[in-house]
Every structure is written in C-alpha cells, then in structure tokens.
Structure 1
Amino acid sequence: MTIKSLSVLLLLMIAATTSTFAQETDSVGTGNHAQDSSSYRGVKGPLLTIAFGKYPKYRKGVYRTNGGDLGLLSFAQVTNNGEHVRNIPRFTYFFNFGTNINKDFGRHFGIFTGLNIKNIGLITKPYDSVKLKQRVYTLGVPLGFKFGDLHRGTFFFFAGAECDLAFNYKEKVFIDGKKESKFNEWFSDRTPLLMPSVFAGMRFAPSFGLKVQYYPQNFFNKDFKTKDKSGNSVYPNQGLDAKLVFVTLSYSFNSHVYKVAHKKTNYVRFKNGNAKMEIEY
C-alpha cells in the first residue's frame, strides 16, 4: 500500500470517528430534549461532510506578474572607423522595472508579453583624459516563452525577443575626472528610436533570477547630424559602432500566485457546521 493510500485511509478513519463521536454526543438526553435534538438534525443535515477532489492541472486563464532588474551590468563592443574604443562595464540599478502578462498551456510551458522600462547605455574612454557616459531610457515590449515548474515557480527557464522604444537620451562628459558637461534629450536622434534585442534567463524561488540580453543593432545613429561652432553640419556618430549586452539579477515573474500554489495534486475537504478544513495529499 502506498503512502498516499495510507494517508487517505487515515483521514477516513479520523472522519468516521469524529462523525460517530458527534452523533453519540447529540443522542445523550431523554424526553423532549432528545426529540428536539433529533428534529434539529433533520433540518440541518449531516454533522460532517467529506469531499475528495483534484486541483486544476495548471493555472488557467491569463495572469499578471511583476518584475524588473535589481542590478544591470552592461558591456559593450565599441569601434570607431574599425578601431577598438576602450570602454568600461556599466552598472545601474535605477529605474529598471516592468510587468508581464502570462498564459500557461500546462504546468511546464507558457508564453508571456508585457511592458518594461530599462536604463541601458555604455561608458567609453576615447582618450586617456576623456570619459563619456551615454545612456537611454527605453520602454520595451517582450514576447517570449518559458518552461519548467510554472505552477509553483520554483525553477524555470525563459527566452524571447524584445523591442525597445528609446524615449530619453543622456550624455555626460568628463575631462581628467571632472564633469565638464551633461545634457539629455527626449526622443533624441543620437540613437535609433527602436532597439530590438534577444534575451534568455532563468527564474528560481524566491522570485529572483538571472537574465542575459543582447542588442545586435548599433547603439548610435550614424545618420545623426548637428552643427559645430562654425555652423557647419557634422556627423559625430558616422564612424561609431556599439553593440550592447547586459547581465542582470532580475526579479521578473514575481507574484503571489506562486506562493499560494498547491504543492499536492489531490485534496480532501471536511465541513462541520461553519468549521471547514482542507488537507492536500
């Protein structure tokens, strides 16, 4: 006999004993009191009811999860007219958050989309005395799939593609370690408006995970045109090419739905008057 069978048998024995004890207790008494008690039981029905059943095999319908990136460490491969440009890994944890809309097709496979705000960029040193910090805030729409333990969220993989809309550009210039200038532009032409990317990662309890995201498109818009001090048209990004990749400690797919998920597949429910109890097995 399996452990599950023994557990169910034990529950039935407890239920039967409880029901018998309750009936014997209510039967004590004589005369009108016993008759009134019998009539009361006839109106209210059985003292104890037992129901067996199974939980749904997977989460039905569409559900939402919150998420974001606790720390985003980005790297860049930068060249200027084919020559390597020295750059520094960039770390940020500010304003990286979003939400996902999920649809599961079983306990182990599902798809998702959503909205994410990210702070992405790079730090370069074109000369020993000059350091540039350039970043954009983006609004991204991912489309991906996930597989693993989607019911309780203990561990699963996810992957997909995302398209980001760059809505704010910021640049800082440092000379010999001192900040010389900074500015930001809304919907700047210095970078592409749309930035596609691909990503892959894993999620493990409690609510954290790792993600790698790669942007194959050039971070800079080579067609960007501005004026120099003499009023002549110049193309400062003409020879620049930068590809970004970042690694992040994420808390994507953070939701209470995983915390309240049932650990077992079967249940037995007891009801005695207003008292209720449910046991998973």
Structure 2
Amino acid sequence: MKKALPTLILGLFLYFPALSQTKTVDSKKPYWTSGGEWIFSSGTLDNFNNVVRFSPVVNLQVLANFDKSEKFGWFTGGTFRNVGFIYDESQTVRKKVRNYNLGIPIGLKFGNMNGSFVFGGYELEMALNYRERKFINEVREDKFNVWFSDRVNFFQHALFVGVALPKGTSIKAKYYLTSFYNQDFEASDGSGNLVKPYQGIDANIFYISLNFSLFRNWELYDFDED
C-alpha cells in the first residue's frame, strides 16, 4: 500500500490531459493542462542551520484553465507534491524531512495567455505521507515514514506567485503560511516518558521551482511549434 499509492497517483496525473502555453487559446473554452516542477526548498528556522533541498520528483499538477480573454484568466485543479527541508540539529546531526502533499490550487493569470504572463494564488494542501531521515557525521542512522502522521499539520495553507515563460516553462515562488510541524505532537523517548520532539521547531517552508509543461488536453506539447 505504501508504495502503491504514489504510483497510483502518478498514473492518474499522467492520465489526464496536459499542457502547452504557446498554442492559440480559445477564450470561450476551458482546457486541461498538466506538468511537473523541480523544487528548491528551505524552512524558515531561527535556531538551526538550514540547507536547501532539491526535489525533482514526484511533483505533478493537473490544472483546469479558464481564459476569459487574451489578457486574463484563472485556473484550479489538483497537485501531488514532494516538499520538505533539511536542517542541522547540531554540528554532527542532520535531518532531512518531507511530506507527500495533495493540493488544490486556485489562481489568476495576467498577460498574454498565448505567451508570457504572470500568475498568483492560494493553495490548500493535505499531508499524506511524512518521512524523516537522520544522519550522524554524514552516515544515515535512522529512517521512517508514516501515513497521515500527527507529527505534521495535516492542512497546509500556501500562497504563490510566478511568471510563465515561452515554450511552456514557468518560475514560481511559494510560501507556506502553516508551520510544517505539529509542535504539540508527543512520542515516547524509549523509556516510557512522553516528549515533544518538534517543540520549538517553527518551520514554514519557502520554495522556488522550475515548472515545465508535458501535455495540453490529449496532445503532447510540441516544443518546436512557434
């Protein structure tokens, strides 16, 4: 089940029609777009050394686009995203954490709907799977993942802005208004005592991503088309 769910979600996202930004848009007809993103993320940590995390997979999005004119439109849809951060607890201990999130974005687009434009909006994400890896002196000592874990806040609220570029690519910046961890989470320390392992770790994720198009509706994106 743990390995099958991401594979199933990947299949569903690839099944839906996907994206092209350079073909002429009929403003009267909504259209489906899909693609992926390469994410460079970090956490807003005050008391720990923060390291940029690169996550090229698995990040997928399927969007319904409603272009009301050649200069304005809006979109919504669904996303499946691998997002997290890396931090040092001490000089010898490093932790790498991430969530698989399922999201619902809604946003506005301004500019040339058949070329370059700016966009921005809000996204609600739900944390499906939490993974934590611990390294001591660069050697991995521990690893676990939990479905629907209470270690993190299930609902994650985020704002994003970006610019769409020619040939179906775009650059996006995103900030999570919700703290990554549930700081009230309690776990046993191995001696029968309950502790709060994430107390004091107030981390809001910020990332910059490169987004690229794969399909529009049922057709593969044509990178050679003007």
TM-score higher than 0.5 here? Answer: yes
Instruction: Show CA shifts across 1:239-263 (max 9, x none).
Output: 111111100110259525997xxx9
In the alignment, structure 1 residue 61 sits paired with structure 2 residue 29: yes
Shift of 1:199: 0.3
Other-structure match for 1:221: 182
* Contact residue 59 and residue 107 of structure 1 kept, 8 A: yes
Q: Deviations over 1:58-95 (max 9, x none)?
A: 421221111220x210122113xxxx211111111010
2:157 aligned with 1:196, yes or no? yes
User: Closer, same or farther in 2 for the Cα pair 1:106/1:112, shift >3 Å?
Assistant: same
Matches within 5 A, 1:203-242: 203-242=164-203
Instruction: Report matched runs for 1:240-255 at 5 Å.
Output: 240-251=201-212, 255=216
Mapped to 2, the partners of 1:64 and 1:143 lie a distance apart of 14
Amino acid at match of 1:184: N
Tell me the equivalent position of 1:23.
Answer: none
For residues 75-134 of structure 1, what are the alpha-carbon distances to aligned partners after superposition, in whole Å with 9 as ceiling and x for unaligned? 22113xxxx211111111010011100111111111100111111111111101100001
Aligned 8 A contact 1:207 1:254 in 2: no
Task: Give 1 or 2 for the bigger CA radius of gyration.
Answer: 1
- Does 1:177 pair with 2:130? no
Q: Which residue matches 2:14? A: none
What letter corresponds to residue 237 of structure 1 in structure 2?
Y
Secondary structure at 2:182's aligned position in 1?
coil
- Runs of 4+ in structure 1 over 2 Å off: 56-59, 252-259
Aligned length: 198
Whole-angstrom distance in 1 between the partners of 2:42 and 2:172 = 14
- Per-residue deviation at 1:159? 0.5
Q: Residues 253, 62 of structure 1: CA spacing in aligned structure 2 closer, same or farther, 3 A cutoff? A: farther
Determine if the alignment matches structure 1 residue 95 to structure 2 residue 58.
Answer: yes
Other structure's SS at 2:167 match: coil
Pair 1:126 & 2:93 matched: no
Structure 2 unaligned regions, length at least 5 = 1-23
Q: Aligned residue for 1:47?
A: none
How much does 1:218 deviate? 1.0
Find the counterpart in structure 1 of residue 16 from structure 2.
none
- Cα 1:205/1:196, change in 2 over 3 Å: same
After superposition, residues 43-192 of structure 1 pair within 5 angstroms as 58-69=26-37, 71-79=38-46, 84-150=47-113, 152=114, 154-192=115-153
Comparing both structures, which one devotes a greater share of its residues to helix?
Answer: 1
1:20 aligned residue: none
CA shift in 2, pair 1:180/1:95, >3 Å: same
**Letter of the 2:141 counterpart:** E
**Residue 237 of structure 1, CA deviation:** 1.3
User: Per the alignment, do residues 189 and 155 of structure 1 end up closer, same or farther by CA in structure 2, a change over 3 Å counting?
Assistant: same
Does the 8 Å CA contact 1:68/1:250 hold for their aligned counterparts? yes
Q: CA RMSD in A?
A: 2.0
Secondary structure, in 3 states, of the residue corresponding to 1:240?
coil
Q: Is contact 1:203–1:252 with CA below 8 Å preserved after alignment?
A: no
Instruction: In structure 1, give the amino acid aligned to 2:165.
Output: F
Give identity over the alignment, percent.
36
How do residues 255-266 of structure 1 correspond to structure 2 at under 5 angstroms?
A: 255=216
